[in-house]
Amino acid sequence: MKNLNPKSIAFYISLMVAVTATVVALTTRSMEINDALSCFVVFAIVFLISYFMIYVALERFIYRKIKLVYKTIHNLKLNRFTKDILGKSLRSEDPLTDVQQEVQEWAEDSHKEIEGLKKAELYRKEFLSNLSHEFKTPLFSIQGYVHTLLDGAMDDGEVNKHFLEKTAGSIERLCNLVNDLEEIAKLESGEEQLDKVTFDIYSLTKDVFEEMEYKAKISNIHFSIKKGCEKPFYVFADKDKIRQVMVNLLDNSIKYGNQDGNTIVSFYDMAENILIELTDDGIGISEDHLSRLFERFYRVDKSRSREQGGTGLGLAIVKHLIEAHGQTINVRSKVGVGSTFGFTLSKSAES
- pLDDT tens track for 46-71: 888 887 787 777 666 666 666 666 66
State how far the Cα of 109 lies from the Cα of 163, in Å rounded to an integer.
Answer: 57
pLDDT digits (tens, 9 = 90+) for 173-190: 888 778 877 777 777 777
State how far the Cα of 321 lies from the Cα of 196, in Å rounded to an integer.
Answer: 12
- Looking at residue 130, its pLDDT comes to 67
CATH class held by domain 196-346: alpha beta
- Looking at residue 127, its pLDDT comes to 64
Confidence of residue 32 (pLDDT cuts 50, 70, 90): low
**Which whole number is the average pLDDT over 249-254?**
91
Residues of the chain with CATH 3.30.565.10: 196-346
Instruction: Give 3-state DSSP helix, strand, coil % of the chain, rounded to 5.
Output: 60, 15, 25
Cβ distance 268 to 275 under 8 Å?
yes
DSSP 8-state assignment for residue 309: T
DSSP for 258-283, written as a single string: PTT-EEEEEEEEETTEEEEEEEE-SS
Torsions phi, psi of 143, nearest 5?
-60, -45
- Looking at residue 70, its pLDDT comes to 62
Confidence of residue 208 (pLDDT cuts 50, 70, 90): very high
Torsions phi, psi of 3, nearest 5?
55, 50
Element of type H or E holding 319: helix 314-324
Of 261, 241, 253, the closest CA to residue 278 belongs to: 253
Q: Which residue has the higher pLDDT, 293 or 156?
A: 293
> What is the distance of C-alpha 71 from the center of its chain?
31
pLDDT digits (tens, 9 = 90+) for 84-100: 444 444 455 555 566 66
Confidence of residue 198 (pLDDT cuts 50, 70, 90): very high
- Looking at residue 87, its pLDDT comes to 45
Average pLDDT, the chain: 79
Residues of the chain with CATH 1.10.287.130: 120-189
Candidate ranges 10-14, 231-235, 306-310; pick with highest mean pLDDT: 231-235
CA distances from 24 to 40, 50, 143, 301 (A): 13, 16, 100, 88
Which amino acid makes up residue 227? K
Fold observed for domain 120-189: Helix Hairpins (1.10.287)
DSSP 8-state assignment for residue 293: T
- Looking at residue 54, its pLDDT comes to 77
Longest dimension (CA), the chain: 130
With a cut of 90, say whether residue 222 has pLDDT above it. yes
**Percent of the chain surpassing pLDDT 90:** 25
